[in-house]
Amino acid sequence: MGACKEDTLDRYPTDASVIESYYKTPNDATMAVNAAYNMLLRDDWWSLYIYSEILSDNCAGGAGSGDGGGFQRLDRLLQWPEADAFQIHWRTYYGAIYRTNIYLESEGLINWTGKESLRNQYKAEIRFLRAYYHFYLARMFGNIPALDHSLLPGEIPSRSTPEALYGLIIDDLKYCIENGLSTPYSQMTEANWGRATKWAAEAMLARVFLYYTGYYNKTEINGINNNVVQTYLDDVIANSGHGLVDHYASLWRVPTYSELKSIDLYAGEKNKEVVWSIRYNITGAGGNLYGASWWQRMIGPRNTNVDPYGNGWGAAPVLPTTWNMYENGDTRKTATILSWADEGLTYDFTGAQQAQYTGYNLKKYDIASIEKRPEDVVMGGTDWQTEAFEDYIVIRYSDVLLMAAELHLLNGDAATALNYVNQVRTRAFGNTEHNLSSITLDAIYNERRLEFVGEGIRYYDILRYCKGDFSKLVNYLTYVDQNDGGDFSKSIDTESLDVDGNSFAEKKGLFQIPQAEINLMKGKIQQNEGYN
Amino acid sequence: MKKLLALFATSMLMCVTALSQERTVTGTVKDASGTGLPGVNVIVKGSSNGVITDLDGKFSIKVPGDNAVLQVSFIGYKTEEVSVGQQNSFAVTLNEDVKQMDEVVVVGYGVQKKKLVTGATVQVKSEDLTKNNVTRIESALQGLTPGMSIVKQSGQPGSNYNITIRGLGSVNGSEPLVLIDGVPGSMSSVNPSDIETVDVLKDAASAAIYGSRAGNGVILITTKKGKTGKMQISYDGYYGISNPWKKVDVLNASQYMGIMNEQQRNDGRTPYFSAEDSISNSVNTDWQDVVTNKNAPQQSHYLAITGGNEYSTFSISLSQNKEEGIFDFEGKSKFERLGFRINSDHKVKSYLQIGENLTYTHRDSRALGTGNQYNNFMRQVLSASPLIKPYDETVYDGFGRSKNNKVKGLGVPYDGQINPIADMHYNYNGHTKNDDIVGNIYAELEPVKGLKLRSDFGGTLTYSYYSEFNDTFHLTPYTYNTLQNVKQNVYRNFGYNFDNTATYTKDIGNHNFLVMIGMNNQDNWFFNIIGERKGYLTSSAPILNNVSSNLKLDTANGNFGKGDARISYFGRIAYNYNEMILFSASLRRDASSRFGANNRVGYFRAFSGGFVLTKLDMFSTLEWLNFLKIRASWGENGVEPNRPYMFLATVNAANKTYAFGSGISPNIVPNPALRWEASQQLDIGFESRFLNCLSFSFDYYVKTSKDWIIPVTVPGISGIAGINERVNPYKNAGKVTNTGVEFDVTYAKNFGDFALELKGNLSYNENKVNEVPDSIIHGSSSVLYNGSEEFCRVQEGMPMGFFWGYKTDGILQSKQEADEYNSKLKRQQAVPGDVRFVDTNGDGILDQKDKVMIGDPHPDIIFGFGATASYKAWDFSMNISGQLGNQIVQCYRMQETAYGNYTTEILDRWRWTDANANGIVDAGESNNSSRPRVTNGKETNKNWRNISDLYVYDGDFLRVKSINLGHDLKKSLLKNIPVGQLRLYVSATNILTITKYNGIDPEVGYGSYYDNAGNLTDAFASGIDMGFYPSAITYLVGVNVKF
């Protein structure tokens, strides 16, 4: 009877590496960085970018009349029917933060000889991502715990102070500004497109700074104030090579089809206006492969395909007030919004089981119709649910211009502010006839709303405009539906589009932290106000 | 009469004694069919004088005189004694020994006399296995094995079975360990005709010798061995036709239009169909008819040759099975198996025996989807609109589309209603071919009497090839494929199993000892390549080379390496005193690569004892009692993790790609302390035999299974608890108890030429979860239909996977009832025709807290009954199986879409008694309906969106699994033909099913499912009828020939 040595039972998988022996070469680092970027693709059906359109005064909740009314409830910042509806965000983004922290803790094990600049670049990108992921959660849930390390087993942190949380985010972005790729747009290679550059970090820092100082009514954080941020934005304007494309509609596929009538005029996903985007692709089709953007499928007209508008699940139907706010001649109106009546199209919204039909749908990020799908086919799509692949532009150059305008105005330089705003308006109208002659903060705010409908920006602008006085939300977010009496969903208590802004004020605009997570953290973190 | 004869014989003996003198006599030994038996021992009783019969069964022996007695014995036959007298030539017929109590059964690493067994085992023999004429062993075992629940996963030819022995013990499933001639394998690779015996080790003590993998029970399959004697050729063949045993009553076209219109009216909308539509409509498609493969053929051929002499024996066979599904389209549901087997044993020296078993099996299968809501053709069939034409030459591809659709774009229908046969045409294109080789070679040495050293090396080689070609199609806006694609996958796995045992038996007086020690080593290697290519293809041949254009989108994955491995040591001691007092103990030490180095060793103990009461004087004198044994056993076993490396911290690349390239990050958090799921079982039972014809056995058991390997819920903030990937650490937790009793009774008696055997068994099991971490393990949502609530879970105090939902208390028949209901419950806005859900906790709000157990998928009782009778050339057999006390959740319809068809149950819905065209009449008073009003599914009251007992049905059934009638022409008309047997038979399978269940089949084996990532999900779930591929009624004619 032969004795067998039991160390032959030490078996390791062939399609995975054991963690202790993994981080060795710069190539390993590349893979680990890619995995950290990969978390950008995980919004699944539910993205903060749709949420914030619905929560804002741009859009209603919509979606399916049989869906349980989740989006309509969200529109009112009520709890979703499932108490843990937002757990996916909590888990996904803390998972993303974990990947960045694991990288930062492990990159010291790598032999970087001869590749020191790559090391700095990767570290800069990872810190940018850590900031972005924190900021995503911070906007949803308020002052969450900021994590600058991977947690030990059993370690449960408390909430961070806003200063600590935003301090970490700002420091990370500053690090990226100082160490990130500073290649100008014209020299940016295909392979590096989508990396967090110095320009992306400067723009993102401005967005974070404006949100933080607005929401918490502060003026400064970690040495960053209006003046510093203004210099960052001016740096992007002067040195990044980014700029506005000629046609507003050409920034997205479906608006290109509907407004410019030829996909040849599409500016493409790598156009100069894109300061930073999330690079979706088609590989998510047909399963959880995390490449496609599922959430984009939520916004198309429900169960209806009308060339060039592809079918979706009908979330975030545009409010009539949003359609009506545009001046005549503003190309942004029809590039942003599909008006069924104005385009002479009919929509059997009852047959399609659309909740809260308003007559308007978003065009940006809608997925092209079946007739326009051959292009998608080239990408290999087979499953309509998961084949949305259009890059989501997180920060456009026009946002850089408008943020810069805001800071210049605050710093007393109205002329530059006016210039920047008018650059945006000239492009929007295709001429200078609608340019403003003078500038106010409200005019900039108004321009921001017109410019960014459907891009997930408006709600967080509103929150920061309050300067910590959330009673102001009542004015922004209370609205009564003019067309009441239409066939709106009966799946929740309300049958109209009416929204009461008080619900937002008492919750300070924040989401409910998933109760299951609070339980798992043994109550170390308290629920947000207004949800008990 | 008997006494008289005995007296006569005795007096004869006395007479002849005086005349005794030594002489040589000759004779022939034959079996019951008249074939000469070679190798039979013939000895003169009380002497060492013996001979062995030759190839023709002839012998010649010296006898001391007329009073000598010849003892004729042969393994497997009843020993005969023949008084010599003055005769010189003898014709001895040996009958096969079928007496239960002298049977030998297979136990772990050996065989044992059944009467000495101290555990709860059950043996099923070849002749019972082949009676059902089925291609799968599992099906053959149904109804024959008390304590075993055997449910087919689908009625599709070649489909697998779920086997649960003595109740579900783990949330990770219940798959028992299967050993084929000692080699771990799969029951799918063995033809039932090749099997000599199937032995099931049910109690923990019997199974504990297999330790770490025996927690769900052990099934030992022994294939047919050769026999000494003349070569025998036998052929068994049958041909049969199958048809569905029933149809589900769904709405026909006019009923469908009526219900759809009523649905619209109830929602305050315009009806879809006008009166003219109803009159002009000529389409009324019965989809079940359309997809039925009428008289689906099946056939089986089995050719075997056995033989051998005193040195070598062999058994070889060749077999083929072919079966088409009863539901089919374009040949997409069929199964074919081809195999051969070579077993041989050789006595090299008096002290050395060697042998081998080798089986090759080829399986070729095509299957329609029988899985979850998205991959289930039967569900499509049951819910498809009867208004869709199956075929329509006006549509570009010839398949009908939904008629009330607004056709847009490419002629793509609008409402998402799919023509099921178009779906079957374009999908389910997979084709699987498997090749399995299972074999072992052994040597057994007996250096000194009583000591046997056995070394057995076995291997399993599995090779599987999968191909698929998908063409482009457009069925609805949501169901299409815009790019052709092909897939080619190859899997190969080789595993070896090496057993070495030493067994020593010694009898000291009436003290009989057995000591066995042994070791086992298992290891395996795997290899796979998975390739997919999308593009425009030159032809529909499913090969990757077929892409014509520049456009090639490829997915290629491959892996190879060492799999899991185990090293084990084990031992058993057994003792009996005069076959009266029985005792056995075993211990196994297992080390498995599925655990970390510090925690990979486990010890599994077992003890058992028995007492044969009929050996006592006080019982031995009872004529009516032939045998009575009481026994008790206790033992422990383990269950391994179903995936390797769950203890290890690894990083991997799956789903971590970004635009810059592939990524790598941690994919699991380690738990080096992970250990076996543990199972302990106490068994108390007795076996008895009365009046030489009636056997009765009983078992009571308590099986406790604990320490399930389950993912730990960790706070999301740790970052390791991703929602969509498995990075959670695993831990051991949880506990469930199965308590049950089993009865088994057999009556067998011959009345002259008439032989009768009746067998019945019944088992009762109660499954109760004792501990669950965090008190609940949740089942998935979106199982019954897209967006459906969780309804199946594991919770303390409840049976595993019990159905969880709202209780209902009828339908609100009138406005008054609805108002009353609304006034009692906050936020309810029910209207007449809605469901009255029960506020079970009485807090005035209807919410999750009101959900209770609404059904139990586990049967309380499983039973089987078999009858066998023969009269001269005729034989008859029947086998019944069934179960009682389980519930089934049925959902054939996507509840969130309006257009799906209903079963006719909906005709008993609540409706307005005098609705006008718009239906807006407030006069719907009580009509005692049992189903809620029909709506588009968006009513406030969530009549169907709330999972309630409306979905739950009783699943009791009794099924006549088989009836056989055979006639052996050799025994009647053709006595002179040169064959041993020429039996013709007719047989019917599933000819009768008695059940109240209104679904397509009460024997529903669906519950757990594979998610998109291919992970088994909800392994604790069962009894879910999402549209099930049902059993068939099969009529067969067959022939058995022996030469």
Residues 256-285 of A with CB under 8 A from B: 279, 281, 283
Give the residue ranges of DSSP H helices in A337-493: 374-379, 397-410, 414-429, 441-452, 458-465, 472-477
Contact B936 A491 (CB under 8 A): no
Question: From the list A13, A44, A490, which residue is nearest B650 (CB)?
Answer: A13
Q: What is the pLDDT of residue B1021?
A: 92
Q: What is the pLDDT of residue B775?
A: 81
Residue of B nearest to A38 (CA): B658
Q: Does pLDDT of A490 surpass 70?
A: no
Do β-strands B89-94 and B23-31 pair in parallel, antiparallel, or remain unpaired?
Answer: parallel
Question: From the list B415, B652, B787, which residue is nearest A15 (CB)?
Answer: B652
Interacting residues of B863 by C-beta distance below 8 A, sequence separation 6+: B143, B760, B761, B762, B763, B880, B881, B882, B883, B884
Q: What is the pLDDT of residue B416?
A: 65
Average the pLDDT over A14-19 and give the result. Answer: 75
pLDDT in tens, B505-552: 999 999 999 999 999 999 999 999 998 887 777 777 778 887 765 556
Q: What is the pLDDT of residue A288?
A: 46
Q: For chain B, say whether A8 makes contact (Cβ under 8 Å).
A: yes
DSSP per residue over B820-853, as a string? HHHHHSBT----TTSEEE--TT-SSB-SGGG-EE
Contact A288 B566 (CB under 8 A): no
Spell out the long-range contacts of B97-104 with Cβ–Cβ below 8 A and sequence spacing 24 or more: B98/B748, B100/B689, B100/B695, B100/B746, B101/B626, B101/B627, B101/B689
| Closest to A282 measured CA to CA, from B531, B551, B375, B416 | B551
Question: From the list B269, B483, B650, which residue is nearest A17 (CB)?
Answer: B650
**Using only C-alpha atoms, what is the Rg of chain B?**
33
pLDDT in tens, B303-358: 999 998 889 999 999 999 999 999 999 999 999 999 999 999 999 999 999 999 99
Q: What is the pLDDT of residue A286?
A: 41
Q: What is the pLDDT of residue B618?
A: 87
Do β-strands B1024-1025 and B887-890 pair in parallel, antiparallel, or remain unpaired?
Answer: parallel
- Mean model confidence pLDDT for chain A: 87
Contact B936 A373 (CB under 8 A): no
Give this complex's ipTM.
Answer: 0.91
Q: What is the pLDDT of residue B655?
A: 75
Lowest pLDDT segment from A63-72, A89-98, B579-588, B906-915: A63-72
DSSP per residue over B498-522, as a string? EEEEEEEEEEETTEEEEEEEEEEEE
Q: What is the pLDDT of residue A196?
A: 97
**What distance in Å separates the CA atoms of residue B43 and residue A174, rounded to the nearest whole number?**
102
Contacts of B730 in chain A (CB under 8 A): none
pLDDT in tens, B864-903: 999 999 998 999 999 999 999 999 999 998 887 778 899 9
Q: What is the pLDDT of residue A302?
A: 85
Average the pLDDT over B683-700 and give the result. Answer: 93
Q: Does pLDDT of A284 surpass 70?
A: no
Contact A380 B553 (CB under 8 A): yes
Contacts of A191 in chain B (CB under 8 A): 660
Average the pLDDT over B151-174 and give the result. Answer: 89
Residues 408-467 of A with CB under 8 A from B: none
What 8-state DSSP symbol labels residue A224?
B
Contact A194 B660 (CB under 8 A): yes
Shortest distance between the Cα of B934 and any Cα of chain A, in A, equals 14
Best of B267, B415, B595, B664 to mutate (most A CBs within 10 Å, chain A): B664
Contacts of B650 in chain A (CB under 8 A): 12-13, 16-19
Q: What is the pLDDT of residue A271?
A: 96
Contact B713 A520 (CB under 8 A): yes
Residue A252 — pLDDT band, cuts 50, 70, 90? very high
Q: Reduce the secondary structure of B292-318 to three states and give it as a string.
A: ECCCEEEEEEEEEEEEECCCEEEEEEE
pLDDT in tens, B103-148: 788 888 888 888 888 888 888 888 888 877 788 888 888 888 888 9
Residue of B nearest to A99 (CA): B665
Q: For chain B, say whether A36 makes contact (Cβ under 8 Å).
A: yes
pLDDT in tens, B71-91: 888 877 788 888 888 888 888
Contacts of A88 in chain B (CB under 8 A): 723
Residue of B nearest to A35 (CA): B663
Question: From the list B551, B666, B716, which residue is nearest A90 (CB)?
Answer: B716
Residue A82 — pLDDT band, cuts 50, 70, 90? low
Q: What is the pLDDT of residue B403?
A: 57
**What distance in Å separates the CA atoms of residue B65 and residue B88, rounded to the nearest whole number?**
11
pLDDT in tens, B21-66: 788 888 888 887 777 787 788 888 888 788 888 877 889 888 888 8
Q: Does pLDDT of A142 surpass 90?
A: yes
Number of helices (H) and strands (E) in chain B: give both, helices first. 11, 54
Q: For chain B, say whether A195 makes contact (Cβ under 8 Å).
A: yes
pLDDT in tens, A307-352: 899 888 889 999 988 999 999 999 999 999 999 989 999 887 776 7
pLDDT in tens, B355-392: 999 999 999 999 998 888 888 999 999 999 898 889 98
Shortest distance between the Cα of B390 and any Cα of chain A, in A, equals 24
Q: What is the pLDDT of residue B667?
A: 76
Q: What is the pLDDT of residue A481?
A: 63
Q: What is the pLDDT of residue B12?
A: 42
Question: From the list B406, B481, B648, which residue is nearest A382 (CB)?
Answer: B481
Question: From the list A370, A377, A521, which residue is nearest B715 (CB)?
Answer: A521
> What pTM was computed for the model?
0.81
Q: What is the pLDDT of residue B132?
A: 73
Distances (CA, A) of B176 to B109, B149, B214, B981: 17, 12, 7, 37
Q: Reduce the secondary structure of A159-187 to three states and give it as a string.
A: CCCHHHHHHHHHHHHHHHHHHCECCCHHH
Question: From the list A97, A378, A384, which residue is nearest B480 (CB)?
Answer: A384
Q: What is the pLDDT of residue B66?
A: 84
Shortest distance between the Cα of B43 and any Cα of chain A, in A, equals 39
Average the pLDDT over A363-390 and give the result. Answer: 68
Contact A151 B939 (CB under 8 A): no
- Mean model confidence pLDDT for chain B: 87
Question: From the list A90, A102, A384, which residue is nearest B665 (CB)?
Answer: A102
Q: Does pLDDT of B799 surpass 80?
A: yes
Counting residues of chain B whose pLDDT is more than 70, the rounded percentage is 93
Residue A384 — pLDDT band, cuts 50, 70, 90? low
Shortest distance between the Cα of A98 and any Cα of chain B, in A, equals 5
Average the pLDDT over B455-476 and give the result. Answer: 90
Contacts of A300 in chain B (CB under 8 A): none
**What distance in Å separates the CA atoms of residue A28 and residue A36, rounded to the nearest whole number?**
13
| Closest to B199 measured CA to CA, from B130, B106, B119, B136 | B106
Residue of A nearest to B666 (CA): A19
pLDDT in tens, B602-645: 999 999 999 999 998 888 888 899 899 999 999 999 999 888 88
Cβ pair B198, B129 in contact under 8 A: yes
**What distance in Å separates the CA atoms of residue A60 and residue A69, rounded to the nearest whole number?**
12
Q: Does pLDDT of B853 surpass 60?
A: yes
Better-scored residue on pLDDT, B820 or B651: B820
Better-scored residue on pLDDT, A354 or B166: B166
Contact A95 B478 (CB under 8 A): no
Residue B971 — pLDDT band, cuts 50, 70, 90? confident
Q: What is the pLDDT of residue B87?
A: 85
Question: From the list A1, A380, A493, which residue is nearest B500 (CB)?
Answer: A1
pLDDT in tens, A513-526: 988 889 888 888 99
Q: Give per-residue burial for B154-177: e unless 16+ CB within 10 Å, then b.
A: bbbbbbbbbbbbbbbbbbbbbbbb
Q: Does pLDDT of A254 surpass 80?
A: yes
Average the pLDDT over B439-457 and give the result. Answer: 95
Q: What is the pLDDT of residue B4?
A: 46
Contacts of A14 in chain B (CB under 8 A): 559-561
Average the pLDDT over B972-990 and give the result. Answer: 88
Contacts of A290 in chain B (CB under 8 A): 655-657, 724
Q: Give per-residue burial for B501-512: e unless 16+ CB within 10 Å, then b.
A: bbbeeeeeeeeb
Cβ pair B564, B525 in contact under 8 A: no
Q: What is the pLDDT of residue B1028?
A: 92
Best of B372, B454, B482 to mutate (most A CBs within 10 Å, chain A): B482
Q: Does pLDDT of B1031 surpass 60?
A: yes
Residue of B nearest to A151 (CA): B718
Q: What is the pLDDT of residue B716?
A: 87
Shortest distance between the Cα of B180 and any Cα of chain A, in A, equals 23
pLDDT in tens, B272-308: 787 777 777 788 999 999 999 999 999 999 999 999 8
Q: What is the pLDDT of residue B936?
A: 78
Q: For chain B, say whether A152 makes contact (Cβ under 8 Å).
A: no
Q: Does pLDDT of B652 surpass 90?
A: no
Q: Reduce the secondary structure of B7-35 to three states and give it as a string.
A: HHHHHHHHHHHCCCCCEEEEEEEEECCCC
Contact A4 B567 (CB under 8 A): yes
Average the pLDDT over A423-436 and give the result. Answer: 96
Contacts of A67 in chain B (CB under 8 A): 787, 896
